Amino acid sequence: MKTVTKTLFLCLMFALARAAPLQDSATDALPDRCEGIEFDAISPDEKGNTFFFKGDHLWKGFSGPAQLSREYFKDLSGHVDAAFRMHSTDNPDDHDHIYLFLDDKVFSYFNQTLEEGYPKQIQEDFPGVPTHLDAAVECPKGECKADSVLFFKEQNVHIYDINTKAVKTKTWSHLPGCTSVFRWLEHYYCFHGHNFTRFNPVSGEVTGNYPKDARNYFMRCADFGHGSAYKVLKCSDVKLDAVTTDDAGRTYAFAGPIYMRLDTHRDGLHAFPITKAWKEVTNGVDAVFSYSDKIYIIKGDQLYIYKADAHFTLIEGYPKTVKEELGFEGHVDAAFVCPNEHTAHIIQGQTMRDVDLTSTPRVVTQDLPLPLSDIDAALCGSDGIKLFKGSQYYYYESPRTLGVSRIAPRPQKVTSAMIGCED
């Protein structure tokens, strides 16, 4: 995963972006989202920055004060009714553009630059979509039936197929009146007042206990969920416990009691308690690897196997001992499985043990000496293997290269340019 070394630990450090206050007389009466305001629109841009709009102001990211919208989006005046980031891999000229809707007009921006020919009438770009919208959100194929945009107006949802330009209208009267809608980490949130309700983008179904206060999840406010003071980690202090990529391409990094999704960096990088996804794993992890739509988590002498679906489900009968499941004993430092292979490579001290995952019972097929010790985590991807040791990592082209090496390669240091830490 080439993105791993670029984004690693950014969220493990809980480094929430801080926006600099405007030096302008308009700052005298800036709106404060921690007071519980209602957003007009929410959308990320092509870089993963999330913008929260209210009147002629916006907030960039999950922390920081309000700023004038026109400071970021030139030629924009007034409030924003709705906004979304285009997801259309079949139309690269439009992909990742952010669309802002004002009354009967639509503005298209890329890199905070208004595209030539804009603003336009909404009907020119999105025929069949009404004016004076309440909210909008992108819905990629796989989450919706096709690459789509959901446009909200009162209780009606207009589902716009990006490729065919067809519009289907549904009435979701059970949803609150959405003044903004946000797709975040593959989930969909209807914002109303200072609360939000999560819903299914195909059926509109709401499951779970909603509404919830947005200040506990989507902003950093004193006395609310993100109100604590988080500090940016120094690069010299970086340390992982485990990292893995599952068969769906989702990459997870673990450190202490938290984890983060590395592949969702375009939605912003956010850390969560490990128990949020793997509720039975309560005291951190020692090693993790993925194989055959499952995630294997090792803690002490226990091994947990989870079905890696939309939600992780512990397979019945687990945890079991590492000895019972993998055929060896002792503390595990790191583990990895390479794409399209059936061998788990288990690192214990200066030994790498290979376990055939197709055999029953599973047994160690070979032990190989390593030129390194005290490895914290390991990851194998299409670009090779990375062994992480504190604030450094060692690169190998393949398990074979690692297995025959007798001299460790030159370590590569994690830098601020790679992961956003402080040098």
- Domain ranges (residues) in the chain: 17-216, 235-419
Strands of 148-153's sheet in order across: 135-139, 148-153, 156-161, 167-171
For the chain, 423 residues long, the average pLDDT of each consecutive 10-residue run is 41 38 50 93 89 94 90 88 90 89 95 93 96 96 93 96 96 95 92 96 93 90 62 72 91 89 69 89 96 96 91 94 96 96 96 95 94 94 92 93 91 66 62
**Amino acid in the structure at residue 253:** A
Say what the pLDDT of residue 268 is: 62
Alpha-carbon Rg for the chain in angstroms: 24
Say what the pLDDT of residue 235 is: 72
Q: pTM for the whole thing?
A: 0.67
Q: Provide CB contacts within 8 A for 3, sequence distance 6+.
A: 251, 262, 263, 265
Cis-peptide, bond into residue 257, ω within 30° of zero: no
CATH fold for the domain made of 17-216: Hemopexin (2.110.10)
Taking the C-alpha atoms of residue 422 and residue 13, their distance in angstroms, rounded to an integer, is 11
Which spans in 279-376 are helix H? 322-326
| Tokens describing residue 16 | 């929430």
Strands of 251-255's sheet in order across: 242-245, 251-255, 258-261, 271-273
Say what the pLDDT of residue 30 is: 87
Under 8 Å between Cβ of 81 and 87:
no
Which three-class secondary structure state does DSSP give residue 35? helix
Cis-peptide, bond into residue 92, ω within 30° of zero: no
Q: Provide CB contacts within 8 A for 94, sequence distance 6+.
A: 86, 88, 108
Say what the pLDDT of residue 13 is: 41
| Tokens describing residue 159 | 């589902």
**17-216 matches 235-419 in fold:** yes
Under 8 Å between Cβ of 385 and 336:
yes
Query: What is the residue whose two structure tokens read 């990094």?
Result: 253
Say what the pLDDT of residue 15 is: 38
Q: Is CATH 2.110.10.10 correct for 235-419?
A: yes
